[in-house]
A and B are shown apart, each in its own frame.
Chain A
Amino acid sequence: MGLELYLDLLSQPCRAVYIFAKKNGIPFELRTVELLKGQQHSDAFVQVNPLRKVPALKDGDFTLAESVAILLYLSRKYKAPDHWYPQDLQAGARVDEYLAWQHTALRSSCSRAMWQKLLGPVLLGVQVPPETLASTLAELDRNLQLLEDKFLKDQAFLTGPHISVADLVAITELMHPVSAGCQVFKSRPKLAVWRQRVEAAVGEDLFQEAHAALMKAKDLPPLDLAMREKLKAAVQVLLQ
């Protein structure tokens, strides 16, 4: 059995891994884990990732969780072009810096914006108080400002002149609130131009393909009662 990637393209980090593997022609078996059906809790999947999260990688007997670790593993094992994770000391450090920062910053804002604005109402029938949503969107805005001022600056991509895994991780995050109707790029021309560059570097077709499921999230039917209760408990923190 070759490389297996356990993904749900509704999840931002899964999209980053999917795009990276496809773009670099890395052969893999796609194992879809439907989060909205609770498939991450199946006995089979727990063997692959006891953290019960996607993405997860299985390469023979070797299993790996955490999208950042998976992206770095793939880039090394399949010797992806240097620009994805540069060998250069300072360029590489800039990528590491972004990948570390984003966990508790952009990632958090984008997940919360998505759940509070779209998935909570659509899937769970939950409306968060307007002040909560306003506060989340304000935080998203601050993180977008940091993205522009600290990372992008006057560069073509987040960490320099070429696309890296940092850009992939960032763009897949930003598409989350975009699909929820947040005008992330409309009011930020610098970011909009960066987005065009990233899409062009990735390839339009692959970018669309990776985001197809997400762009249809607003048309998802509400979950049945049992699933609703289960998910509500799991995403409690994201609704605040």
Chain B
Amino acid sequence: MNFAWHLRNGSRLTCRSAPAACRRTFTAQHVMMSRHTHAKRIDGLDKNVWVAFTSVAADPSIVNLGQGYPDIPPPSYVKEALAKAASVDRMNQYTRGFGHPSLVKALSQVYGKVCGRQIDPFKEILVTVGGYGSLFSTMQALVEEGDEVIIIEPFFDCYVPMVRMAGGKPVLIPLRPKPGKIPTSSTDWYLDPDELSRKFNSRTKAIIINTPNNPIGKVFTRDELQVIADLCVKHDTLCFSDEVYEWLVYKGHEHVKIASLPGMWDRTITIGSAGKTFSVTGWKLGWSIGPESLIKHLQTVMQNSLYTCPTPLQEAVAQGFLLNYEMMGQPECYFSSLAEELEGKRDRLAAILQEAGMTPVVPEGGYFMLVDVTPLDQDLSHMTEDEAYDYKFVKWMIKEKKLAAIPVTAFVGEESRKHFEKYIRLCFIKQDSTLEAAGNILKNWRRV
């Protein structure tokens, strides 16, 4: 939320539009206003990759494989459930602050089954505004000045600013490609256990993991999660597990919940998203699941920040879950059918990129694919801004080739930039026609 920039621009506009005599007064007021600046907690947090790239890509003539949202429709029954909910008067008014009863009960059912444990819908679940809202509530509730939080690169970009806004210190550790080979799959990226254990110390409050990972698409194996769990238990830290892409796992891979490992339930917050689960990113509903001893603090943040999430949306998502609960494990279940549909798109995009002479990193999960653009050999020497190569490349590509992607260095810290700046991230939860259009642009790259 960019109030500083917001306030500054507001007063700038005032000055510009006033006649000369008044401008003197306004300038004096502007100088007077400068006593009031933004709060320190948002210092340096105003840059944002989505704000930078989404407006540019909004131009309909651009083939948009950038921001991660579907251009395929959501299942019709969730939209119907929303229309139905809004027609019931009570559903248009405030509901229970920590989560609409029918939704938390449905979540308790579904996740109880997945985790193999009883989950208390009222004490162990918090409904938030998107996965983003759960991350924010978690950080605000559990991270403060003096805390270190380990973040694995590449990371969903908001983790670092959220840790900083909560007064914490991000400690970064990169996923590294296995030595000796060019990475062709997200399985080729791994976390070095020794390097990881050296990042833990007495100030470490938590580690954030994201599986399936955005942007690489890595799905952490049980063994990999065990290494992390062992360190959490040994150093008595918390674990924030962002699992918004949990259903989007492809053949041969299994999504494992770190909270289900021994000793982990009591120290883990697991985050999910309706937007990713039901292809309705615009609904902005998510949830945090964990032990009462942690969730109660997230609830405190919720009741002092947003208080409650929109009612009809929660009702509709509850209906969506109840419907799919019955079909869990079967091909008709949306959680399975969407993964199936996306696997086809994943393979199609990978083939398109290979045909264009590039080597995609085929993901095990999620709906993003990384690709190294070095083979395109694009000369960007005319772009003199001090930015990483991928930022320049994506900006140039949007402008000249009308194809949008996201630069991967947005997801890493300063030190790791050089290892990732040849990669761009492409989103493939898109209509086949969108993917084909991207393919055409890439095939005809050399043509002016």
Is B one of A's binding partners?
no
